[in-house]
Amino acid sequence: MSAQISRKRSRNSPPTPASHKRQKMTTREVSAAPASASAQEAPQSRPLAPIKPAESHSEKQVETKSKHRIKKLTPVRPFPSVPTSVSATGPRSAHVEGKNFICITRKTSLGAYMRRCSNLILKDGYKTLHLSAMGAAIPLLIQLSLALPPILPFSSDEVRTEISTGTVEVQDEILPDDEEEDISYRTRGKSTLKIIIIFGDGEFSSGPTGNVKRKRKGKTRVGASEKNPSSKVVSAEPEQVDVEMV
């Protein structure tokens, strides 16, 4: 007889733990089990409050500086508006010397500067132009120096250009909001550009042109004698009658 091994549990053997017991689960329980497990594991997300950055020392300085008002003062001109040899009290139209010294600003357009410079060369007889600009007006000066020579009756060989750069110190007024505080000043640097354009020999060709007053063209009354000055009016003498004396 063959020995048969019985798979029955003996009475003296210890009971099987609950974890090793097989459990039968339905499809609904299987699908719901991982969802419930993931719901328990994943915590609920809440919007985070924005974190305010700490104010640095530089930001505090900016706040204190913003309380002041800054007034930019007019910088010094590279050359005087009226030359020393001309009276400054007279009318500006009477000034002849120093017309070829021009300060370029953004307030005037490029076309106005081109007309002014061409009149100085063609009408007034200047052959040298001294142009100067500062800060934001430097691009306008460069455009003028490039656009001016082609419209003048000079070849490219007769036109020479001298360029010089520099820096000028300008001052600003710092006006406090509190009237009790004093006004302070600060100094800053500003770039400058000077261009000298020489046409031909560069010498002044004609003398100074003064103010020429135009004659009034009005209608004047013309008499009969002015119309025909050659014709003379002759009046006849009355005939004399001889009267007999009684």
Q: Does residue 100 fall inside a structural domain?
A: yes
What is the count of structural domains for the chain? 1
Q: Does residue 61 fall inside a structural domain?
A: no
CB distance 187 to 171 below 8 Å: yes
| Lateral strand order in the sheet of 184-199 | 69-72, 159-175, 184-199, 128-134, 101-103
- Give the number of other CB atoms < 10 A from CB of residue 54: 6
Q: Does residue 211 fall inside a structural domain?
A: no
- b/e 30-49 (16+ beta carbons within 10 angstroms → b): eeeeeeeeeeeeeeeeeeee
CB distance 122 to 154 below 8 Å: no
Q: Does residue 136 fall inside a structural domain?
A: yes
Q: Does residue 56 fall inside a structural domain?
A: no
CB distance 193 to 92 below 8 Å: no
The pLDDT profile of the chain, 246 residues, written as one tens digit per residue, is 444 545 555 555 555 555 555 555 555 555 555 555 454 555 566 666 666 666 565 555 545 445 678 888 888 888 877 766 666 666 666 666 788 899 999 999 999 999 999 999 999 889 999 999 999 999 999 999 999 999 999 998 999 999 999 999 999 988 888 777 888 889 999 999 999 999 988 887 764 434 434 444 455 555 544 555 555 555 555 565 555 554
Distances (CA, A) of 160 to 30, 45, 102, 198: 95, 76, 18, 5
Range of the domain at 107: 95-167+191-199
Q: Does residue 122 fall inside a structural domain?
A: yes
| Nearest Cα to Cα of residue 204 among 97, 94, 84 | 97
CB distance 199 to 127 below 8 Å: yes
Tally DSSP H helices, then E strands, for the chain: 5, 5
Residue 205's Cβ-count burial label (10 Å; 0-12, 13-18, 19+) is exposed
Distances (CA, A) of 147 to 24, 152, 192: 96, 10, 20
For the entire predicted model, the pTM comes to: 0.54
Q: Does residue 37 fall inside a structural domain?
A: no
Q: Which residue has the tokens 């560069």?
A: 202
Judged by DSSP in three states, 39 sits in: helix
Given its phi and psi angles, is residue 149 left (phi above 0), alpha (psi -120 to 50 degrees) or beta?
Answer: alpha
CATH classification of the domain holding 110: 3.30.110.20
